[in-house]
A and B are shown apart, each in its own frame.
Chain A
Amino acid sequence: MKVQLWDNKDFLAGLLMIGIGAIAFFMALDYPFGSALRMGPGYFPRVLAGILIVFGVYVGWRGLRAAEQVEGVWGWKALAFITVSLWVFGWLMDRVGLIPSLVVLFFVSALAGHEFKIKEVIILATVMILFAWAVFIYGLGLPYRLFWWD
């Protein structure tokens, strides 16, 4: 069976390493390189980025030779909801207080699951928010307001 490039595990891994290595290398060009005796801030990063690119080339080449498929399916939907729930929580915490932020966190992250039962999520969010209040605010004394009017 022919494995497509975008489904080729090692080829993609190599590509990722080369990409990150290249970005790091070009960014590090702005930092003085120095010499082995007096290393500048650019020395270590540039050497590391170079090594990462070499590894990337090797892994990618190996992938082209012996193509292996990525196992299982990609969970993009779950990844998106979980990531967004974290981002939105952070953004809201600065603005509206703990409780509304957590409510949004629960509803958005629960969408990442296979089943979304609104009643269950409401109960889960209520119980866990009470728990969070008990642990973080009451127990640990973290200085967060609960709502935006506090």
Chain B
Amino acid sequence: MENIDKKLREEAKRLLEEKKVGVLVGYETGTLPLTATPCFITNPEDAEKLVWNAFCTQNLAKFVHDLISQHRESQKRVKPEDRKKKIVGVVARGCTTRSIVLHLQERQYGRDEVVIIGVPCTGYVDGKRLSVLAGGDDIREGSLEGDQLLVKTTAGEKRIPLQDALAGNCLTCRFNNPVLSDLMIGAQAPPMKPEQEYTEIEAFENLPTAERWAYFTKEMNKCIRCYACRQACPSCYCNTCFVEQSQPQWVGLGEDATDTQVFQLMRLFHMVGRCVDCGSCVSVCPMGVDLRKFLKKIDKDVFELFENRAGSSLEDTPPLSIFKEHDKEDFIFNP
């Protein structure tokens, strides 16, 4: 990992010095132990801050979209001939590159507006899982030694195998190497266990209807409608989200349980063919709602019905904007 950090900093510095990118989005060491946080670098000297490790959680494609769309908005007030492009560099793992591919497919920005520094990924640490493994106490200090996490809490020291603390989506990840990149740093990462990606979903599908509904309502009752999932999601980039629209008002804003369920249901359904399973929504959720149980089902359905994996190839068309003559239609009601 040391080596990757060094190369990453060198490349980032070079890109900034040569003005190949205006701003670089990456990760820096977080303020809390065993965390990393997104950072924006414009000064080549600051490239020294960059890190790439198992604590880099958030999908940075969100910031790429935000930066470019804000820049474009600001350019509206500039004379057409004086308009400038903003080129954003990004440190991207597999799922981040999938999100960028998705943005490109959806014509959100041009390929020339983003420079992708691909990094191999062996999964990131799920903060909530780690805090449970650490015994629920605050983590005072921590370090990664080989494949063991050394965690110091108020109760004492603990060694936790890194593998146990990885996020659920990382363990069964199919695309842990970038699908699209301008330059690659480090060797290809070994594959995870993609053959098990739907095991959990298949088990849930086989439960009786009442139990599935009970689980859905139980999970959605935890939701406090903070919209952190939406803010973190790279696929959620609408200027005005349906929850904030008042004419028409799609969903109520009160504390009614049904409104919350409808909000979640609609957001989940907007992810058809668009969820890259980066786990950003799950990791930012303050209430620990099991969103992945439902998002992964959508991913499974889209693959089964339309043979598409969101953002896996630049040549694909978004599955909901095309159709094929022989799409399944066994669900159509015909009395």
Q: Do A and B come from one complex?
A: no
